[in-house]
A and B are shown apart, each in its own frame.
Chain A
């Protein structure tokens, strides 16, 4: 689980980019900002992952899986 709460863009995307170097089939990330959701989703989709977002109390859990 990557915790990017409170991080302003582009930091969450860079955190994901660096995590994705390990090439795992799934990643999970928590963010608390709509801009981060948009940017992380865009990046993950571009990298070939499917993204599911779940919102709870102003925080978002993004689950990224490679089909």
Chain B
């Protein structure tokens, strides 16, 4: 594919994804939350009873759809490739702390864009932190940071994570009594589009993200590293389409105070997204990209998602997650610990002795 066509395709896909995100809110999702990978993984953790915050319990079909959409599209394009074994527990830890950062800010990078498109000024503060975090990650990438290579795995191994999503879908459709649900009007978990709408939206966006390699972290990262604009075009297209969609539906409400599922503590919005940007750059992709890669057969990304799921569960079990009232003391401590851990991982994997098999400095 030549560069012009590639940019056109990701631009169109980004516009479509932005509109789908606005449509999901129209059909029932919480405001500025057509998609939020972190929030939806957190809701899924709640739906499975991994945490007991009643306000955020719902096995979100969007997540299932994103993974399966990428899985199907990767097969159609002959790109399904089971691989793994690249510093697996380190990826788990990074996924864990990326989730802590997201729940401090109240959103993943995808929702950060949707919050900006809805007029939420706090998301601009988040963007500044996010960009600074990516800058920190790029600093280490340029100096040789690597989680070492991955290796081919059996197709069966690569299919486990998509199969788990299929099983979750089966339970949600046929045995919902096994799962926990936020009671009506009980919080964001109660706000959702119909299962079939959410699933369909996830499938389409998962497929589009597979084809275009869309990644919210990749845009700013590649531009900083190589002046490469492709992924940044996707980022901008989502923002533009969601902004226009919100304007059309009268849902654009500029300001800082009383924004939906958001708080105004600027320092912690900044530091939360700093942790997300830094952690995601070290992982090689944003939470959405991790789901898509997991659908394409990456076991490393599947483990990262499990790390995020664990982070989400613990964030609510130990009051680390923020709410509209603001950040918690425990959450602030967790973000600081996260920044220290992520920095240590970056330093060790940049300047540490390369002892992995077959690797030399």
Contacts and interface: CB of A to CB of B under 8 A. Distances in A.
B213 A42 contact: no
Given A14-B141, A14-B142, A43-B228, A7 B149 contact: yes
Interface in A4-51: 5-11, 13-14, 17, 32-35, 38-39, 42-43, 45-46
Interface in B206-256: 213, 218, 221-222, 225-226, 228, 230
A10 B141 contact: yes
Nearest to B84: A6
Contacts of B260: none
Nearest to A17: B226
A58 B80 CA distance: 11
Interface of B: 1, 3, 6, 79, 81, 83, 86, 141-142, 146-152, 213, 218, 221-222, 225-226, 228, 230, 284, 300
Contacts of A11: 141, 146, 284
A8 B86 contact: yes
- Report the contact-size class of chain A (Cβ under 8 Å from the partner): 20 to 34
Given A33-B81, A34-B79, A43-B226, A5 B149 contact: yes
Contacts of A45: 3
Contacts of A42: 3, 6, 228, 230
Given A6-B149, A38-B1, A14 B225 contact: yes
B3 A6 contact: no
A67 B36 CA distance: 47
Contacts of B221: 10
A8 B145 CA distance: 12
Given A14-B142, A42-B230, 9 more contacts: A6-B86, A10-B141, A10-B225, A13-B226, A32-B152, A39-B228, A42-B3, A42-B6, A58-B81
B337 to A, nearest CB: 26
